[in-house]
């Protein structure tokens, strides 16, 4: 009789113990899952939480603000971190009209590399980005309309020209835009005759424009949409620039360009694209035979808006005649007169030997 009583008395204890054990396991699983979820969706607070390289850059913003120390820094109008629900991004945003650098008519929220290098020493820049907006106003006949630059090599001396500029351009009403890169010559003599040569990556090169101010060419079949990711690598090694461009669902494109020996040292070397675009505005120079050899260069990355409010009659390549609302930045943002670019990955460092297949 006593044994039965003991067994009956133990049963509730066993059930309680089993329940507590199961509950403990359940809580452990829930806690682990919860901790993981929090880690996955935690928002980055500032850009340097997203990308670890901001100690190597300074920035110029669309209102003329210069900032040299970017670790822990943000500006909610022009340069900030954003989480889209699954990915942390660094956002660069700038209007069509604002305060910019002394040698430019175009605003930017754009990084500038602190360290300079010569082409024979080299350097490497990578980026994975998506362009979220380009200006919706501009003159369709002007090559720079509706475009932004998302990466550059800039010379730090001499004419201070640009041997590499990576553009995204989308005409209003099109779903897909073009990605192309330009080489600007390091002009012989003064710099009045400088010009760019444009290479198509996906879609068109810079020379494809509208027949009149408000008509657009056919939408590029192999173009990149707003919000569609693409990646680039700019690798300068021993004076040669190696370019690689990738995007899911698109053909990978590669280019090689000599930065220390010019292709354009003679008038006979000037390509037809340049004659059609730049000769009409009086820019018909030749390049120094050694191109950018020996000149200090640095990388730039972010959003360099190519659409401005200048009168196209002054220059049918760069003066886009866009809406600028007397420079009022909130009005420009509200009416589509701005550009916005997001980066989720990027790096900067020394040049490396090119890979071979």
Q: Is residue 357 part of a domain?
A: no
- Kindly state the average pLDDT of the residues 126-150: 98
Distance CA 151, CA 295 (A): 19
Tell me which of 12-16, 31-35, 67-71, 130-134 is least confident: 31-35
- Kindly state the average pLDDT of the residues 44-72: 97
Torsion, Cα 225 226 228 233, to 10 degrees, reads 100
The answer to whether 236 and 351 have CB atoms below 8 angstroms apart is yes
Give the length of the chain: 357
- We report the CATH number of the domain holding residue 174 as 2.60.120.200
- pLDDT above 50 for 63: yes
Per-residue pLDDT tens digits for 182-223 = 999 999 999 999 999 999 999 999 999 999 999 999 999 999
User: What is the domain count for the chain?
Assistant: 2
Per-residue pLDDT tens digits for 6-41 = 444 444 444 444 444 444 444 444 433 333 333 434
> Do 288 and 265 share a structural domain?
yes
> Do 152 and 17 share a structural domain?
no
> Do 9 and 36 share a structural domain?
yes
pLDDT confidence bin for 357, thresholds 50/70/90: low
Report DSSP state, residue 102. Answer: T
**Exposure of 266 by Cβ count < 10 A (0-12 exposed, 13-18 middle, 19+ buried)?**
exposed
> Do 136 and 93 share a structural domain?
yes
Q: Is residue 304 part of a domain?
A: yes
> Do 159 and 122 share a structural domain?
yes
pLDDT of residue 49: 98
- Kindly state the average pLDDT of the residues 269-275: 98
Exposed e or buried b for every residue in 305-333, given b needs 16+ CB within 10 A? bbbbbbebeebbbbbbbbbbbeeebeebb
Distance CA 221, CA 200 (A): 13
Here the tokens at position 218 are: 């056919």
Q: Is residue 295 part of a domain?
A: yes
- pLDDT above 90 for 44: no
What pTM value is reported for the model? 0.88
> Do 154 and 19 share a structural domain?
no
Q: Is residue 21 part of a domain?
A: yes
> Do 26 and 140 share a structural domain?
no
- pLDDT above 70 for 52: yes
Q: DSSP for 217-238?
A: PPPPTT-EETT--EEEEEEEET
Give the domain range for residue 156.
45-349
Q: Is residue 355 part of a domain?
A: no
> Do 115 and 25 share a structural domain?
no
Distance CA 74, CA 72 (A): 7
């Amino acid at each position: 009789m006593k044994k039965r009583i003991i067994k009956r008395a133990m049963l509730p204890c066993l059930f309680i113990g089993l329940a507590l054990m199961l509950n403990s396991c359940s809580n452990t699983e829930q806690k682990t899952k919860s901790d993981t979820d929090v880690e996955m969706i935690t928002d980055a607070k500032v850009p340097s939480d997203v990308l670890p390289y901001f100690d190597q850059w300074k920035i110029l913003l669309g209102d003329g603000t210069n900032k040299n120390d970017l670790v822990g820094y943000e500006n909610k109008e022009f340069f900030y971190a954003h989480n889209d629900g699954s990915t942390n991004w660094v956002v660069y945003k700038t209007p069509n009209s604002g305060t910019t650098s002394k040698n430019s008519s175009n605003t930017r929220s754009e990084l500038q590399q602190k360290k300079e290098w010569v082409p024979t020493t080299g350097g490497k820049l990578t980026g994975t980005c998506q362009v979220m907006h380009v200006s919706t106003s501009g003159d369709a006949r002007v090559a720079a309309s509706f475009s932004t630059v998302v990466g550059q090599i800039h010379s730090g001396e001499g004419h201070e020209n640009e041997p590499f500029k990576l553009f995204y351009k989308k005409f209003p009403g099109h779903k897909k835009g073009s990605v192309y890169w330009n080489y600007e010559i390091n002009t012989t003599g003064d710099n009045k005759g400088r010009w760019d040569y444009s290479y198509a990556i996906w879609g068109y090169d810079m020379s494809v424009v509208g027949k009149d101010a408000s008509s657009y060419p056919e939408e590029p079949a192999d173009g990149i949409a707003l919000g569609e990711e693409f990646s680039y690598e700019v690798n300068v090694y021993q004076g040669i620039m190696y370019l690689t461009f990738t995007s899911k669902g698109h053909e990978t494109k590669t280019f090689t360009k000599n930065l220390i020996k010019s292709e354009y040292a003679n008038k006979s070397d000037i390509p037809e694209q340049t004659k059609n675009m730049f000769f009409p505005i009086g820019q018909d120079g030749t390049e120094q035979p050694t191109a950018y050899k020996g000149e200090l260069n640095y990388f730039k990355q972010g959003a360099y808006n190519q659409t401005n409010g200048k009168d196209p009659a002054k220059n049918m390549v760069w003066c886009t005649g866009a809406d600028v609302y007397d420079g009022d930045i909130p009005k420009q943002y509200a009416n589509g007169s701005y550009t916005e670019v997001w980066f989720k990955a990027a790096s900067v460092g020394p040049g490396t030997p090119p890979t071979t297949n």
